[in-house]
Amino acid sequence: MWLLLAFIAVPMIEIALFIQVGGLIGVWWTLLIVLVTAIAGSYMVRNQGLREISNLQRSFSELNDPTEPLANGAMILFAGALLLTPGFFTDAVGLSLLVPRVRRAAFLWAKSRIKVQSFTMGEPPQRPHHPQQPQDRVIDVDFEDVTQGNPRRDEPSEWTRH
């Protein structure tokens, strides 16, 4: 229901703003503003997106919780889509999502409304230890002893020869 209201309300807000701003400053200035915000927004999204990718990689390599960098990346991506959409309202929302404090507040708000049942990082939880039970599986293999005599140490092994 909320999504339907957004799909109806946002275009109506944009049309009203285009009419108001276009009446005040003229059509060409209005179109120029929309074009400039799309170009500047794309540049900002690219820079901040690359920064968030490095933060995400760092959190993975340090085994930290990647939730916030992932959420920031998603909000930056959404901001880019809003900035490329022509309009003043979408530009305002998109530019606000490029402000780190706004993203942080949105992340904390969403985090307070979402309940995580379980989260683990690193090694999977240990299962209760059961003593080894004999298996009925038989593995049939053939082998050849290649260590007969003294192996030659002056040549590389068969495994490294190219």
Residues of the domain holding 26: 13-113
Q: Residue 30: inside a domain, yes or no?
A: yes
Q: Residue 149: inside a domain, yes or no?
A: no
Q: Residue 159: inside a domain, yes or no?
A: no
Q: Residue 42: inside a domain, yes or no?
A: yes
Q: Residue 53: inside a domain, yes or no?
A: yes
Whole-prediction pTM: 0.66
3-state helix, strand, coil in the chain (%, to 5): 60, 0, 40
Q: Residue 17: inside a domain, yes or no?
A: yes
How does residue 149 score in pLDDT terms, banded at 50, 70 and 90? Answer: low
Cα 29 to the center of its chain, rounded Å: 36
Count of structural domains, the chain: 1
C-alpha distance across the termini of the chain, in Å: 65
At residue 161, the 3 state secondary structure works out as: coil
Q: Residue 130: inside a domain, yes or no?
A: no
What average pLDDT does this structure show over 124-128?
A: 60
Structure token pair of residue 37: 């915000």
Q: Residue 44: inside a domain, yes or no?
A: yes
Rounded-to-integer distance, Cα 34 and Cα 131, Å: 69
pLDDT at 17: 92
